[in-house]
Structure formats: structure tokens, C-alpha cells
A and B are shown apart, each in its own frame.
Chain A
Amino acid sequence: MNPYLPYPARIDDIVIETEDGNLKTFKLVLEDDADRAGWHHVPGQFAMLSIAGKGEIPIGIASSPTEKGHLLFTVNRAGVVTTALHKMNVGDPIGVRGPLGNGFPVDSELKGKNIVIIAGGFAFTTLRSTLIYMLEHRADYGNITVVYGARTPGMLLYKEELKQWQERDDLDVHITVDREAPGWKGLVGFVPTIAGQVKPSPENAAALICGPPIMIKFTMPPLEEVGWTDDQVYLSLENRMKCGLGVCGHCNVGPVYVCKDGPVFTRSQVQKLPVEF
């Protein structure tokens, strides 16, 4: 099998996620039955989305493996390919290559643990995948706590699902926005502050943190204060990628390739690497 050839796929649905219109969720369906049947991913993995003539980009898979028949990708408009993607319509053809990377260890290390999910901005995508997967296998995990924040209420992703999650009693959800906003009745404050207030217990627990580097930096001290260690914290790194297969050399952080060895690393793994991400 040639790992450079994308599967043909089609855009089945597009949801505009944020008020600025820069984040859209694309629902993709692989065209060939065999490709669909053969697709297996783990929450936290990513795929290369291909637009003929524009190129490829690595995007985290936002759908859970338990959501069968389609894939979700929430894409921020930034470069050549994502801009082209944002201009596409339902029914348009697209290529998908993957799944790539390692993903969160949902079926190994994380099993039986209390889970704390901390996310900021549009880094929530693969954590949505993880959360839905865990809710589908609810008995496999202990308490699940979610702290998720965005700049404004309009910048939160998956707003409908957030509401549903908040209503569940097997899930402890804290949604926050950076500043007071008209009509917003929820929490106000940066993600690190809220995480500090929630004070999740490190007992038999693992934290999955995704967000801008600055958020991760300030989230660590309040966690460390209540006894969290670097081994318990899982991060998802990002770097410029081209092949996604650990060959082309673009995404290396020291000796590891984010695309192949990652994107998920424990914080103690990351601490041993040069800061080149």
C-alpha cells in the first residue's frame, strides 16, 4: 500500500463553529466502501486533508472512532490549503490520508483512571474525539472532568454538544470565557485560573491538555500545587508536517518526530526535548 496516496472522500456537511467564521467543522465521507471499512483511528490521531492542486495539511480528527461512517475535522483558516478548504461546499471532493500519529492511550494507560481534560480555543478538536469515545465506554474510566475555555462565548466549539455534556451527571464540565460577555452566564476567567479553582485530584488520574503553549505553561503550576506530576499529563504537540510518516524531516523535535512518535506525548517526555515546537 502506498502511504502517500489519499483516499477519495467527499464533503458531506459543513458547520461554521465560531462567530468569526474562521473555524468550520467538515464532515467527510470516504467514497470507497473498502476505505471506509478499513479506517480505524484512535482519539488524538490526525489525518492529512488533500485538495487537488493546493496541497495537504495535517488536521486532528475531531470525530470519535465510535462515530461510524464519517470523519469530522474542525479546521482553522490560516494557510493556502485551509483557505481553499474553507471555500469548498458540501459535495465537493477531497482527499484524506491517514490516520497518522499515535493518539491518546485511551485503551491502555488511561483505562480505569480519573480523566481531566483541559482545553483552550480550537485545540479542543481531538479532545472532543477522546471525550465522546470515553462517554461511549463510560465504565472504563473513573470521574471525567472537563475544563474548556475560549476568548468569547462565540468562539467556543461544538456549542450544542457542550450544552448536552453540561447536563450529564456522569461528567463534570466547566466552560469558561476570557472576559465577561453579554448574555454569558457561565464561568469567566482564563483556563489556567479555572483549572486552579477546580483543583482536580491527581489520585489515579491523568490530564489531557491541549491549547496554546502559553495556556499550557500557566496551567501546570496550579496542577503541580495539588500534586500532579509530569508523567500524568498528556500533551499534543504541533509542528509543520509534510509526509506524516516520520520521513520528510520537517516536524522533528530533537530525535522525535511529532507526526510519527506523537503528536501525543507525556509532559515528562516533552521536558527531555529541545523546545523546538
Chain B
Amino acid sequence: MNETERKQGEWEPKIIAFLCNWCSYAGADLAGVSRYQYPPSLRIVRVPCSGRVSANMILDALRSGADGVLVSGCHPGDCHYISGNYYARRRFAILKRFLEFVGIESDRVNFSWISASEGEQFAQVATEVTERVKRLGPARHLVKEF
């Protein structure tokens, strides 16, 4: 067992989740109320809209030591602000490919659509993202140290 594997065994990743106020945050709330189980690795940041989340924020999370990032908004067509998530979708599509291009593992940065009624889906996504990040091990590339 090498060190990474050993660490993965006992290590719980820290994942920053930017959830939009109107859908995904309510979805996370519902997951809790409905007692769906999911790993305790998510630190939730409530934002007005997935369109509010900038690349700066995602990279700031990684720089500060997050092992993974999840951004989640309303399903296309359901945005409280009509089109925020459509714009976000273009920006995230480009960003995700771009981060992969400079060598950031694809599964570090994740995006999802979760509505206010999808508590179960939220728990699924949280579990899935946690597993993916666990497989990668602790983030190293963009974590600032001194």
C-alpha cells in the first residue's frame, strides 16, 4: 500500500459546493430533511444563481485547499433569473475543458443540475463527487503552501 492509497483509506476529502439558492440549495435541504445519506465531505456555499459562480471562485477554493469543487444550479429552463444557468453552462463547459488542459484532473471540478425537489439526486451527486475525488486523492496542483 503506497502512501496515497493509505491516505485515501482514512482520508475524507474537502469539497466546496456552490449551490444556487433556488434549486440546488433547496435540494440539499430536502436531502437532509428526507434523511438521504451522503458523505460529510461537502462544505456548502449558497449563491444566488449558478451564473454568479466565477472561475475566480472555483480556483480560490482549490487554492485554499479544497480537494474538489461542485457547482450546482437549476435545470435548464428553471432558472429563477430565467437564463443565469444557460450562461453559466457555457462558461463552465469552457472552464472544465481548460482546467483539464493545464493538467487539473477532470473529476476535481464538477457541475450538476439539481432541482428543489431532487433531494435524492442531491445525495447521489454528493456521493458520486466524493467518490470521484477520493479516487484522485488529495488535491496538490493548485493548493497554495508556505
Contact between A and B in the complex (any CB pair below 8 Å)? no
**Residues of B that sit less than 8 Å from A by CB:** none
